[in-house]
Amino acid sequence: MCSCHQEGVHCAEMAMVCLTDFEEYANAHLSKATWDYYAAGADECCTRDDNLLAYKRIRLRPRILRDVSVSDTRTTVQGKEISFPVGIAPTAFHCLAWHEGEVATARATEGLNTCYITSTYSTCSVEEIVAAAPSGYRWFQLYVYRERKLSEQLVHRVEALGYKALVLTVDVPYTGKRRNDIRNQFRLPPHLKVKNFEGVFEQETSVPEEYGIPANTLDPSISWKDIYWLQSITCLPIIIKGILTKEDAELAVEHGVQGIIVSNHGGRQLDGGPASIDALAEIVDTVAGRIEVYVDGGIRTGSDVLKALALGAKCVFIGRPAVWGLAYKGEEGVREVLQILNDEFRLSMALSGCRNVAEISRNLVQFSKL
């Protein structure tokens, strides 16, 4: 880390006080290609950047003299109690940031009793993740492939392993244009693999690769009828990730899914779409409590979590900050990132006059006129 002399005091290690500290550490210590991959947004990165700026446009309306001597951050997602409403969003290739990769992430989330959405594009297998954190609460993020059997086999694997929900990512019929990945000719290093597909594509070495598997593997013909197909092969709850409009939220409810993650894929897909938090309220209003609604994208502080819950999210999920934690100190780093968010959320709740999650309501927020 850093060594410095300040007012005669020797500081052997920089204090990690907020998520930005982890971001700066990761930027300084990861290779350029790896940093660029994690940081990438699509095209001009307008949506990626707006995910953060949108939270700053929301102001809190604190209530005072509310006796906040005792506070409780617990909530439930899909009927399961978690210690606070922050989980880990599905992010690929954790072994690029830390040698233990997703195994470290799984242990950290197990230790803090929250939800970890494991990515299809993990550099540890779903079996390795379960073995490392057997009592952890996990969902599995799924893509639909042209070869439906690939998706089906994954579903059966994770169901047998005790994953508690499927998170169907629906905003990637094609991969967004991430300019730095193209410039860097990003590829997984030879010692890393998309472990859930180990052995599946080995006969196709002449086919161009895209993020660890052959290009054009994803199915761009995916449609609402595939929700019914997925329901026919699993008993797990289905949560759709990537909805940004009230029209699609209504269709999701009509098709019998159990949840929605309001998400623009971290700004990595369609540039020029809304910030996730800006799309949240209309989706919550449309759903009207019929299913749970979550949000990811741009959460960097505990007050961001509070704002998202005030606008109707049941839970938020963090992507890049988890990777920054990994880059810092593996499992311990992810735990620190989550603990900082938990502590900041608890403090923001108290300073706003909320003693528990149930007291957080839309009356707590207003939108800045600026």
Annotated binding residues for FMN, written as ranges, equal: 90-92, 119, 141, 169, 241, 296-300, 319-320
Distance CA 365, CA 311 (A): 8
List the beta bridge partners of residue 316. Answer: 86, 295
Q: List, in order, residues 6 or more apart from 218 with CB less than 8 Å away.
A: 143, 144, 145, 146, 172, 173, 174, 175
User: Which amino acids are annotated as binding site, given as ranges?
Assistant: 37, 90-92, 119, 141, 143, 169, 178, 241, 263, 265, 268, 296-300, 319-320
Distance CA 292, CA 323 (A): 26
Name the helix (H) or strand (E) containing 142: strand 137-142
- Length of the chain in residues, anyone? 370
Name the helix (H) or strand (E) containing 274: none
| Alpha-carbon distances, residue 315 vs 13, 22, 38, 295, 306 (angstroms) | 33, 22, 23, 7, 10
- State both tokens at 73: 């951050």
Q: In a 3-state reduction of DSSP, which class is residue 175?
A: coil
Distance CA 141, CA 121 (A): 9
User: Which amino acids are annotated as binding site for glyoxylate, given as ranges?
Assistant: 37, 143, 178, 263, 265, 268
Rg of the chain over all Cα atoms, to the nearest angstrom? 20
Catalytic-labelled residue, pool 156, 191, 255, 265: 265
Task: Judge whether 265 counts as a catalytic residue.
Answer: yes
Residue 265: CA count within 13 A, CB half-sphere: 25
Q: In a 3-state reduction of DSSP, which class is residue 257?
A: coil
- Give me the active site residues, please: 265
